[in-house]
Structure 1
Amino acid sequence: MATQADGSADGFSGDDGARARAREAVVEAALGKLDLDTKARLLAGQDMWSLPELPEIGLRSLVMSDGPIGVRGVRWTADDPSIALPSPTALAATWDPSLARRAGALLAQEARRKGVHVLLAPTVNLHRSPLGGRHFEAYSEDPLLTGAIGTGYVQGVQSGGVGTTVKHFVANDAETDRFTVDNLVSARALRELYLAPFETIVAGAHPWGIMTAYNTVNGTTMTEHRHLVNEVLRGEWGFDGFNVSDWLAARSTTGALKGGLDVAMPGPQTVYGPALAAAVRAGEAEESEVDDAVRNVLRLAARVGILEGAEPAVGEVPGEIDGVALAREIARRAFVLVRNSGVLPLRRDARIALIGAAARDARVLGGGSATVFPDHIVSPLDGLRAATDSLTYALGADPSDELAPAGVGFELRAVCRDADGTVIGEGSLPSGQLQWMGADLPAGVTHETLHSIEIKGTFTPRVSGDHAFGTRGLGAFTLTVDGTGLYDGVQSMGTESDPFEAFFGAPLERGKATLTAGEPVEISLFHPLDKSLAMPLPAVIFSLMHLEPRRDADSLIAEAVEAARDAEVAVVVVATTERVESEGFDRTDLRLPGRQDDLVRAVAAANPNTVVVVNSGSPVELPWREEVAAVLLSWFPGQEGGDALADVLLGAEEPGGRLPTTWGAFDAAPVTRVTPTDGQLTYTEDVFIGYRAWDKSGATPSYPFGHGLGYTDWTYESLDVTGTTATVRVRNTGARPGRETVQLYLSPSGPDEARPARWLAGFANVTAAPGESVEAVVELPRRTFEIWDEDAGAWAHQPGRYELTAGRSLTDGRVSETIVA
């Protein structure tokens, strides 16, 4: 591994200590030329996504962008489309760090294309409770798997010369009151679970950045947490990257500086900048502490190649990567086949009835800051139509009866006007949802000159009937459809205390218009800006909402049943919605929305060869799972999901995924509390989350951690352990080539109430032809035999006898060996 300026590893191959030390010399020289005011200004964002340039030292503006499944860039617009990879839960389901590295390298390519230097990803918080609304953006309930996938991802991004910010440090495991919640977590649970993925990634990938979370941990907000940031992250682990706040998370100038926060975003109104310079002059902070933060920022700038005189950390970036092909590969490698009676794979010429709203209108990514706009999306209907000989489609049941941002059939643009009504700029909209934050405005438009916005264009219905239209947001709206005014009024705050609740919450129906399928109509939503709203940063956020005519659910299900009866196989696609899984709120249950459970049961009763594809980013309940022939989990599969689905259903590829988190019914889940009491959320379960908690409770989940089926069979022939190296020999005893994820779990030989019954100790992927025998070699980390001793404040080795089991999942062990640690 190459070295940094101080001799530590820099997180990629090709660099050496001499080059890193030379970069550090340039950093120190640049730092010495800056006065206090300039240094303080550098630590505050100049806008939503960037830091200021400093020509006097040859520093260009550092640009950051949201991820993690794509690179949006500095503007939230479809004018510059982004590759949309499958959700992080899908990437983790591959159990393949090398594939995560390839994904990261592709995103670095995308970042360079968009002029982005730092990707605000990956998210490595754990799936503490299945109710976590943002779990689709994180990897797993297990810290070892999370750390391994995150390490590969960071290595990949940084191999392309682009920085990462591993987030959200730390214990940002739910969305409810995430800005204010004080999470009370034992030191042992922090070390063994929540800090563990960050520690692994710092050691294995040496990330150039980290993002501290909104929440508080044990009484101290994370942007001021001196112990966890300065003493643990920087001190014990040797992290030398920059520490950026989550957006709007920084609350105190001196508290943040002394707590190890380098950059407060977004800007220019932050706790740093002039406020920081004033604090130093008042004797409330030391300039040397400011220098430490500036040094970290300049080191990042040097690494990404925007500090004059410093050689970038990566001289030669990876070759061109085919993003479409990689998105398709990750999707099919991530699909988890949790049940198969033998119906899969299907014949290409089988008569298939494809059923479900999500089969036609694919949900390929989760809601919130992870949203990007790909230039195309392949739905399951698109993919199967292109790949099969006989396919029929029925809607079956829609997962939602709520208005959604205008999408299919709409061709929209945003027209910006000044106070005189003069058009000053335009921008295209991929949907009716307009989200312009900070400098995220069309060319020629500023927040000072912008007085009104009109969303206008055409709508071509795909069905005839009464279409509902509405709005979401605050202020005055005038809505016109096909020349008829549907609404002209004002939406006030009402009882909401947070304007973001109105911007992203429930839509309001404003009227209906009777339209004919295939006949386009003009549509307009005029919105004068209300600049009296108290916003933490300049933003324009409102939406044109729409809902197609709703037919009776029973009749739609009946049509689906008829289609299923006439087919050899019925494929039902069920899904969550953005109002179920998104950043900003947690879930209240694990049920599929709408009448989708009724649809599955009705179709399965009509056709015994019913395959259900579950399009969700994290666990949902599957009450009908024993009534259907097969269940395939597709996660949020990214832009190429439909083609990947066809690959797997028709057997061109096998489903490669294994569960990165336990799936079970909500009423049996051992850890569900995500709502604070009096501002505090106590992690009473301590180190028992995920499968550790299921084991302790004695409850049986629907599908255990690590579970997943392929299209061939495997025999585990032997397990040999020499020192810390475990070698597992497996044989492909099926009729086709396959990939197996060999999993190793460690258990104490005797009962130990303080420790989980078993935990993941390592894993490896192998491939083999029919009849071929191969070996999986897995190194057992020392940490797997240790616990955090809270009294000593240190890791403590736990000697004794352990049972090491290799198998196909947590509960499907095939070979075991007793070892002595």
Structure 2
Amino acid sequence: MTTFNVEETLSKLSVIQKIKLLSGLGWWHTEPVAEYGIPSMRMSDGPNGVRGTRFFNGVPSSCFPSSTGLGASFDVDLAYKVGIALGEECRAKGCHILLGPTVNTQRSPLGGRSFESFAEDPTLNGLIAAAYINGVQSKGVSATIKHYVANDQEFERFSISSDVSERALREIYLKPFQLALKHSDPWALMSSYNRVNGVHVSESPRLLDDILRKEWGFKGLIMSDWIGVYSTVESIKAGVDLEMPGPTVMRGKAVERSLAAQKLFISDIDERARKVLELLQKAYASGIPFDAPEEGVDTPELRQLLRESAADSIVLLKNDKNVLPLTMDSKIKSIAVIGPNAKYAFSSGGGSARLLESYTVTPLQAIQAVAEKRDLDVKFALGTTTHKLNPLLDPYITLLDGTGTGALLEFWNEIPANGFATANSKLTDNLKPCTWSCTTKVSNCVLLDGVDDTKVEKDCYLRYSTVFTPEESGTYEFSLTLAGSGNLFFGDNLIIDLSTSPAPGDYFMGLGTAEVKAQVNDLQAGQGYKVEIRASNHDYVKQVPIIPNWGGLRIGAVKVVEPEDALNEAVDLARVSDVAILVVGLNHEWESEGYDRPDLELPGLTNRLVSEVLEVNPNTIVVNQSGSSVTFPWIDEAHTVLQAFYGGNELGNGIADVLFGIVNPSAKLSLTFPKRLADVPSYPSYGSKGQEHGRILYNEGVFVGYRGYQIKNITPMFPFGFGLSYSAFEYSALNCSEISSEGKFTVTFTIKNTSSVYGREVAQIYIADDEASLPRPQKELKGFKKVALQAGESQSVETELDREALGFFDDRRGEWVAEKGVFSVLVGASSEDIKLKGSVELRNGLAWRGL
């Protein structure tokens, strides 16, 4: 069947069948009604990749740069191409609905999910999102714009009330959603967990119906965030079509009872079911099979796009001594690569954005590859560690039978031997044959899925066994975290006991054990050692009966190095090398769904490492990798600095391409980097320390991000929109047309590449209201263009703007207003580096509602 008639099908369904459509089937599917040709639609987490339907042992996926990195590209064409690639991977995985993009405004860089949104500015956020959506949906896959709205922190995210003025809500927090709807047509939208001004968004007719559907004309499906429905009648009346995930908690029988009480009517159910069927109609038209096997995508063209997007998300912050690029004619023979983010591929932030990458390239690997071609000597030193939990065993494990990489995971429904998973357990026990088994390549097994539920009960026993082969000799620290209870054996020895009253921890949705560690001495590089975990998930599954699961485990190991020794080794290496490349920053443990950051500091001894390397090597390049802002107390001493964000599969090659001049950097900061936390406009009204009895007051109003720094005359470390190039650009010939009666006008100017190097420049257009009747930002981004120029080339740039560029929201009148008068037009290379100034005059005021 390639066509599907919504009204005809709806008329045939019974009330019970219609109700069934209003909630999900498991984590990633909608409910089917097979007798009327209604199959399950499949969805998958985004926004920077397509994980598919399994947390455990899923099909590997392409990981694109974090959204802050894609936003930093200021490149709508690139965002469109990324969207196409994500749509193609959805098709390969039989996925009809991608859960992205995220467009929540980055009110504070401390937000655990800040890396998931494109920018602190609603225009950049909304326009990049629109291009992404258009790309995804060009492949017949539904994009899901999220999380609507004011879902800007992780602290008490299910209950916190974002208390925000109507004007700020409209101009800052709703605006990226509004712009995305104006420039694309997302087929789905996800409501947020939080309250807005005291009312949960999933129960707000004003936000979901009055504004989204009636005022903006949104025609798509509204789904809840996962376990983000807290009511039956209220959520249905407000307009939430689909409760996710399944099985239902707030619908099903509760809807039947509400119908009997006439709190709901059949017409209410029909409205919600119709939206599910309308999305199903698009799924049929896409040709994507239902219940299809999941496959990965790996082509040379995709790898090139991954590499291009990684490089194009890198911002050159400082190049004072022109150390970069490291060209062939540079007098360099030796390179010291230093830092924890050099050796590991931190492709994305944590939480639902994480996935199993199809492959990764670390910065160290990429630098070594270029160095080999150029006959350069590269040596590595860790310098410091920054992990919260010990690094996973993944790169160093093989099956016991020697047939490949990974580990064997076995399950029993009954205890396989006396003392199994207790402190008295011995590896010599004669275990019963297992009920079911599988191999895995990971040492972090989140068993929410991927287990044969026809054979393995939720309350079960499991064994994880593998061979660990260290790459360096020395003492290693092993660690274990369980969703349940059990033990870790190294060889024949019990080294970690989590079977007797294990301490609680934050892992596995906050219901797992704390990480417990133990050291093993004198391991030899290249020698294999048997590692085994025996566990029971009894206690865990009793605590989370709502979410079907088989528990889980996480095992890590790291070579023990004295902090001072590691730091001194790195400094000594930097001292004797021609160039030192420091790759430092955060990772998915520091920036993640589920919690916010406590500060803007780099972890551990990172800042000290950077300072001491800067002292001994005048050719030190600092590469910071983070999803949002951090502070650099050493910035005045550093002359060469790159901001890399999380770069996806090809993050290493992206960094190397910029370092060695293969790619000329062209990205600009998508969010402000402050000098200190207290300068952030939302400070201190943010997170756990800023809440007032379950409420967060958005005291800064519309002065979010760069708007707040400018209105208070606070100089940040690096302003919004800032980024350098290996080229130099000259701006000239600004011309602004007259504003039409509808509020449209054109801004034209010329950019010239005055250097001898091909480059790309992001020209940013800001508007200032010179005669406003109420406080407005000093300037606001309203347009941008990325221009590619050969050496010496000039190009005329034309941008069309409309009333959106002039207006503010008048909450007294409940509409948008552009007051007559003169507006400044500011064209620049950043929010602070204005190159050209002009003006336009609006002769008659405008007022409007809607898009």
Aligned counterpart in structure 2 of residue 692 of structure 1, from 707, 729, 733: 707
Aligned residue identity for 2:199? T
* Superposition pairs of residues 531-610 of structure 1, within 5 angstroms: 531-610=541-620
Aligned counterpart in structure 1 of residue 411 of structure 2, from 410, 416, 423: 416
Distance 2:504 2:327 in 1: 57
Aligned residue identity for 2:370? A
Distance 1:470 1:771 in 2: 58
- 1:130, 1:619 within 8 Å by CA — same for their partners in 2? yes
Distance 2:16 2:323 in 1: 69
Q: Does 1:400 align with 2:387?
A: yes
- In the other structure, the counterpart of 2:177 is 198
- Report the 3-state secondary structure (helix = DSSP H, G, I; strand = E; otherwise coil) of the residue aligned with 1:545: strand
Aligned counterpart in structure 1 of residue 61 of structure 2, from 82, 86, 92: 82
**Residue 803 to residue 492, structure 1, CA distance change in 2 (3 Å):** farther
Distance 2:585 2:824 in 1: 40
Aligned residue identity for 1:667? A
- Report the 3-state secondary structure (helix = DSSP H, G, I; strand = E; otherwise coil) of the residue aligned with 2:559: coil
Tell me the CA shift for residue 306 of structure 1: 7.0
**Residue 729 to residue 468, structure 1, CA distance change in 2 (3 Å):** same
Aligned counterpart in structure 1 of residue 209 of structure 2, from 230, 240, 246: 230
Distance 1:747 1:618 in 2: 27
Distance 1:812 1:134 in 2: 29
- 1:425, 1:444 within 8 Å by CA — same for their partners in 2? no
Distance 1:766 1:695 in 2: 27
Distance 1:498 1:456 in 2: 21
- Report the 3-state secondary structure (helix = DSSP H, G, I; strand = E; otherwise coil) of the residue aligned with 2:353: coil
Distance 2:76 2:501 in 1: 49
- In the other structure, the counterpart of 2:845 is none
Aligned residue identity for 2:584? V
Aligned residue identity for 1:809? S
Q: Does 1:151 align with 2:130?
A: yes
Aligned residue identity for 1:816? K
Aligned counterpart in structure 2 of residue 470 of structure 1, from 449, 462, 479: 479
Aligned residue identity for 2:761? E
- In the other structure, the counterpart of 1:653 is 663
Distance 1:432 1:608 in 2: 41
- 1:691, 1:705 within 8 Å by CA — same for their partners in 2? yes
- In the other structure, the counterpart of 1:8 is none
Distance 2:183 2:273 in 1: 25
**Residue 217 to residue 447, structure 1, CA distance change in 2 (3 Å):** farther
- 1:473, 1:491 within 8 Å by CA — same for their partners in 2? no
Distance 1:223 1:650 in 2: 49
- In the other structure, the counterpart of 1:728 is 749
- In the other structure, the counterpart of 2:834 is 813
Q: Does 1:299 align with 2:278?
A: yes
- In the other structure, the counterpart of 1:740 is 761
- 1:405, 1:433 within 8 Å by CA — same for their partners in 2? yes
Higher mean displacement: 572-581 or 484-493: 484-493
- In the other structure, the counterpart of 1:619 is 629
- 1:62, 1:306 within 8 Å by CA — same for their partners in 2? no
- In the other structure, the counterpart of 2:364 is 381
- In the other structure, the counterpart of 1:333 is 312
Tell me the CA shift for residue 402 of structure 1: 4.3
Give per-residue Cα distances to partners, 1:371-415, cap 9 Å, x unaligned.
111121100111011112212222112223642443331333422
Aligned residue identity for 1:381? L
Distance 2:199 2:501 in 1: 35
Tell me the CA shift for residue 807 of structure 1: 1.1
Aligned counterpart in structure 1 of residue 722 of structure 2, from 692, 707, 711: 707
Identity in percent: 34
Q: Please, what TM-score do these two structures have when normalized by structure 2?
A: 0.89
Higher mean displacement: 532-541 or 452-461: 532-541
Q: Does 1:346 align with 2:326?
A: yes
- Report the 3-state secondary structure (helix = DSSP H, G, I; strand = E; otherwise coil) of the residue aligned with 1:509: strand
Tell me the CA shift for residue 624 of structure 1: 1.1
Distance 1:578 1:804 in 2: 40
- In the other structure, the counterpart of 1:483 is 492
- 1:59, 1:306 within 8 Å by CA — same for their partners in 2? no
- 2:56, 2:445 within 8 Å by CA — same for their partners in 1? no
- Report the 3-state secondary structure (helix = DSSP H, G, I; strand = E; otherwise coil) of the residue aligned with 1:40: helix
The runs of 5 or more residues in structure 2 that have no matched partner are 290-296, 398-405, 417-432, 739-744, 843-851
Distance 2:388 2:120 in 1: 32
- 2:767, 2:826 within 8 Å by CA — same for their partners in 1? yes
Tell me the CA shift for residue 174 of structure 1: 0.7
- 1:609, 1:628 within 8 Å by CA — same for their partners in 2? no
Aligned residue identity for 2:821? G
Tell me the CA shift for residue 780 of structure 1: 1.7
- 1:164, 1:208 within 8 Å by CA — same for their partners in 2? yes
Aligned counterpart in structure 1 of residue 466 of structure 2, from 457, 462, 465: 457
Give per-residue Cα distances to partners, 1:404-457, cap 9 Å, x unaligned.
4433313334222222644233344443222122xx223455663651122221
- In the other structure, the counterpart of 1:523 is 531
Tell me the CA shift for residue 513 of structure 1: 5.2
Distance 1:270 1:751 in 2: 50
- Report the 3-state secondary structure (helix = DSSP H, G, I; strand = E; otherwise coil) of the residue aligned with 1:334: coil
Tell me the CA shift for residue 506 of structure 1: 5.3
Distance 2:360 2:368 in 1: 14
Aligned counterpart in structure 2 of residue 164 of structure 1, from 138, 143, 146: 143
**Residue 379 to residue 757, structure 1, CA distance change in 2 (3 Å):** same
- 2:458, 2:548 within 8 Å by CA — same for their partners in 1? no
Aligned residue identity for 1:775? S
Aligned residue identity for 2:90? A
- Report the 3-state secondary structure (helix = DSSP H, G, I; strand = E; otherwise coil) of the residue aligned with 1:43: coil
Tell me the CA shift for residue 674 of structure 1: 2.2
Distance 1:688 1:488 in 2: 52
- In the other structure, the counterpart of 1:442 is 451
- Report the 3-state secondary structure (helix = DSSP H, G, I; strand = E; otherwise coil) of the residue aligned with 2:555: strand
Distance 1:257 1:532 in 2: 30
Tell me the CA shift for residue 42 of structure 1: 1.2
Q: Does 1:65 align with 2:76?
A: no
- 2:707, 2:777 within 8 Å by CA — same for their partners in 1? yes
Tell me the CA shift for residue 610 of structure 1: 0.7
Higher mean displacement: 207-216 or 279-288: 279-288
Tell me the CA shift for residue 280 of structure 1: 1.4
* Superposition pairs of residues 69-148 of structure 1, within 5 angstroms: 69-148=48-127
Q: Does 1:638 align with 2:625?
A: no
Root-mean-square deviation (Å): 2.4
Aligned residue identity for 1:677? E
Give per-residue Cα distances to partners, 1:467-512, cap 9 Å, x unaligned.
2222224432121012211133436586889972243x85222554
- 1:244, 1:265 within 8 Å by CA — same for their partners in 2? yes
Aligned residue identity for 1:414? L
**Residue 654 to residue 295, structure 1, CA distance change in 2 (3 Å):** same
Give per-residue Cα distances to partners, 1:627-676, cap 9 Å, x unaligned.
12211011001111111111111101111210010001213223232232
- Report the 3-state secondary structure (helix = DSSP H, G, I; strand = E; otherwise coil) of the residue aligned with 1:174: coil
- Report the 3-state secondary structure (helix = DSSP H, G, I; strand = E; otherwise coil) of the residue aligned with 1:408: helix
- Report the 3-state secondary structure (helix = DSSP H, G, I; strand = E; otherwise coil) of the residue aligned with 1:555: helix
* Superposition pairs of residues 302-313 of structure 1, within 5 angstroms: 302-305=281-284
**Residue 244 to residue 366, structure 1, CA distance change in 2 (3 Å):** same
**Residue 320 to residue 461, structure 1, CA distance change in 2 (3 Å):** closer
- 1:436, 1:541 within 8 Å by CA — same for their partners in 2? yes
Q: Please, what TM-score do these two structures have when normalized by structure 1?
A: 0.92
Q: How many residues align?
A: 790
